[in-house]
Amino acid sequence: MKNKFNLLFSFLFIGFCFTVFFKGLNNPNTYTPKFDNKKKIPIFNVKEFGSNNYINSDKVFRGSNYYILNIWASWCAPCREEHPWLMELSKNQSIKLIGLNYRDDLNNAKKFVNKFGNPYSQNLIDDDGTLAIEFGAYGVPETFVINKDKMIIKKFVGPIDQKKLKEIKLIIR
């Protein structure tokens, strides 16, 4: 009797493990963090393009209903791909498109926007990548949608494409 109980228990346990592993196979093993809480953006001081002075985040995130923060770099190939979509986004008057230039050489960055166009109303410099970490970014390109209370309401990892652009436009309506 004890034997049969052991056998049944073993089978149940095995069945349970099998189910878990089976479902686990279908989950992706790369991690996209759950984005349920709105987080406030960090407060920071950075330099921006064209000036040697430090500017405070308060001054940057002011005067608009929505802000789009786009992390980019001249050496990043997907940033080149998403650039046309950013140009289109920049035509929208109700948002302020802010660039965060990530671990880049200033001259190369300036050449990039001169050559391909500048969609950003302001461009901030993050030459060691630490500001991107304050935002919780992994790297480039990443885009954050921020509301007027300076809360991050949506994050896109990877380049913006037509689908993501539509999503952004829906949010900022």
158 binds another protein (CB under 8 A): no
Three-state secondary-structure class, residue 85 = helix
Pick out residues in 78-117 that bind another protein (CB under 8 A).
102-103, 105
Q: Please report which residue ranges of 27-147 form alpha helices under DSSP H.
A: 57-60, 77-90, 106-116, 130-134
Size of the site for another protein (CB under 8 A): 38
The strand pair at 45-48 and 142-147 is best described as unpaired
Q: How is residue 20 written in tokens?
A: 């878990």
- For another protein, which stretch binds (CB under 8 A), given 6-14, 53-61, 90-98, 164-172? 6-14
**Cβ atoms < 10 Å from Cβ of 102:** 27
Of 1, 30, 53, 93, the one binding another protein by CB under 8 A? 30
The CB-of-68 to another protein minimum distance in angstroms stands at: 20
- For another protein, which stretch binds (CB under 8 A), given 16-24, 48-56, 62-70, 84-92? 16-24
Q: Are 168 and 85 in contact (CB under 8 A)?
A: no
5 binds another protein (CB under 8 A): no
- For another protein, which stretch binds (CB under 8 A), given 31-39, 47-55, 81-89, 161-169? 31-39
Stated as kind and residue range, the H or E segment containing 22 is helix 2-26
Q: Are 91 and 66 in contact (CB under 8 A)?
A: no
Binding site for another protein (CB under 8 A): 3, 6-7, 10-11, 14, 18, 20-27, 29-31, 33-34, 39, 73, 75-76, 102-103, 105, 127-130, 132-136, 138-139
